[in-house]
Amino acid sequence: MNAPALRDSPAIRPTTAAAVAALGTVASVLIGTPEPLSPFVASVTPTGWSGGVVLAQIVPMIGILVAVFTIRWWPWTLLAGTVLAIPRTLAPLLPDGLGAHPSIGVIARVGAPMVLIAVLGAAQELYQRGARKTGLSLTGLALGCQIFAAALTGVRWLSLPLGGDFWRVALGVLGIVGAVLAVVGQRFRRNDSAWPEPTAPGPRLAVAAVCAVLLPMLVSLVDDSLVSRTLGVSPSSLARHPGVVPTIAGLGVLVLAVAITAVAGTRVFFGVATMALVQLGVAGPLLLALYATVADPILSWIAAAAGVAAGCWAAATRWRAQFAVSAGVLAALVLCVLSFATDGKPEKIIDHQASAAGALLLAVLAATAAVMVATAAPITVPGALPASFGPITSTVVLGGGAALVAARLHEEDSSTGELAPAHHLGLNATLLFLAALLVAGFAGLQVLRAARQPAAPSEVGPSAEGA
């Protein structure tokens, strides 16, 4: 059934404005994070159980689960996440003693993930209401704001973020405004008779989300003694290779996360796989692009913003699947050319002070990530943008990062420096090629299905409805 005309809905604009503004909280929290596109489940998983904050360590994980299961009331979830994040977003304005207690610092970590899930919930309702362009653009922007935050941060081991406190506070205030608008805007949604009824994730998807949030705790349970006893390796050998134990734990997370995703269903599996491949594929090259533009931070801001805007625009067109595949292939080819041109030493673009090349790479990666992630969900799960994909994808990315580390361990010349993730651009290109292949495959299946049922509106190609 087609949704009533959007011109009759007074709720589209306030909902969109609230969700876009709320992403300011996510970007504010991520400013200063050393690793770009770090999976948020890693920030809420305890790395140890301090006796004084045992209960506080559990709160972030519970917060993620609450956000997933209260997605039908996403404005209140958004408000709660924004309030919890205030000790981090407005830290420069708050008294020094306010955030000094360890429990406050631990609990504040759940704020940004809750906001992100709530924004995905808003995108899901917009999409189901018929504002498909808006819902898809908002989904791409949810990832794009993280790339923009990485551009604002730059490379922490070389210099502090330019205007870091200003951006953190400004974006934090913007997030608070978004949360207030989301709550106030409920009256517009209530007055819209065609606004979709809130829905909860299905049983299999709900179980997968719960397991995905709890699964990273495996990392904190695997230590040197356990690996030594299990594999029969001496502790001294593990001490000489400190990256082995975290890699083993991460690989375990990846294997179990893939199994959990498969249980959620075939479409969910391929949707999560596509989004995870995109994030893993752009993370390493993104670090290189930020390094290359460290001497011109404003240029990196402009490049990131332009790339995200281009990706969101492409996701809002009828040709989004074609744009997504083309962007994935283009980004992969750029990485291959960059690797060959520098003889496998991408730092050469930094040695030659090629800020323009770094900015171009940053824009391409930002656009690719935004359009491919925005396109993947509605293609693999027609008619919906499952907000529960967020935690599941984040856990797969966490484990996938360990798999990339494992791929580098066997190389004698593997780098252990800050730019180590950027030394294997060929591997990153392969991941982006695979993601593009998955999008192309599902888009092709939809075209074939639409050809067999000509009366059904298609989500792909120029014949797609309103998109």
Question: pLDDT tens digit string along 404-427?
Answer: 877 766 554 555 566 677 777 888
pLDDT value, residue 412: 47
In the predicted model, is pLDDT for residue 78 greater than 90? yes
State the residue range of the domain holding 49.
1-198
Nearest alpha-carbon partner for 116 in 326, 380, 351, 394: 394
Are residues 308 and 141 in contact, defined by beta-carbon separation less than 8 angstroms? yes
393 is a domain residue: no
Phi, psi of 98 (to 5 degrees): -65, -45
Q: Per-residue pLDDT for 88 more than 60?
A: yes
Task: Please give the share of the chain, as a percent, with pLDDT higher than 90.
Answer: 25
Do the beta carbons of residue 96 and residue 432 sit within 8 Å? no
pLDDT of residue 465: 38
pLDDT band at 458 (very low <50, low <70, confident <90, very high): very low
Q: Which of 98-107, 215-224, 439-448 has the highest mean pLDDT?
A: 439-448
Neighbouring residues of 411: CB distance < 8 A, sequence distance ≥ 6: none
Query: Within a domain: residue 83?
Result: yes
Q: What is the mean pLDDT of residues 246-267?
A: 84
Q: Which amino acid is at 313?
A: W
pLDDT (0 to 100) of residue 462: 39
To the nearest whole number, what is the mean pLDDT of the chain? Answer: 80
Residue 115 lies in a domain: yes
**Is 173 part of any domain?**
yes
Taking the C-alpha atoms of residue 328 and residue 439, their distance in angstroms, rounded to an integer, is 9
Q: Does residue 44 form part of some domain?
A: yes
> Average pLDDT, stretch 37-63?
68
Note the pLDDT of residue 278: 93
Q: Is the pLDDT of residue 6 over 60?
A: no
Separation CA 11–CA 190 (nearest Å): 9
Would residue 126 count as lying in a domain? yes
pLDDT of residue 358: 86
CA dihedral 331, 337, 341, 342 (to 10 degrees): 40
Residue 248 lies in a domain: no
Give pLDDT tens digits for 190-209.
777 777 776 667 788 888 88
Q: Between these two residues, 454 and 17, which has the higher pLDDT value?
A: 17
Q: How confident is the model at residue 182 (pLDDT cuts 50, 70, 90)?
A: very high
**Over 70: is that where the pLDDT of 383 sits?**
no
In angstroms, the CA 28 to CA 18 distance is 16
Contact (Cβ atoms closer than 8 angstroms) between residue 2 and residue 465: yes
- Domain of 36, CATH number, reads 1.20.1250
Residues 136, 83 contacting (CB under 8 angstroms): no
- In the prediction, which pLDDT does 245 show? 73
Domain count, the chain: 1
Mean pLDDT of 390-402: 85
117: nearest Cα among 383, 379, 385: 385
Higher pLDDT, residue 396 or 35: 396
* 250 is a domain residue: no
Report whether pLDDT(460) > 50: no
Tokens encoding 78: 């958004």
Contact of 330 with 372, CB cutoff 8 Å = no
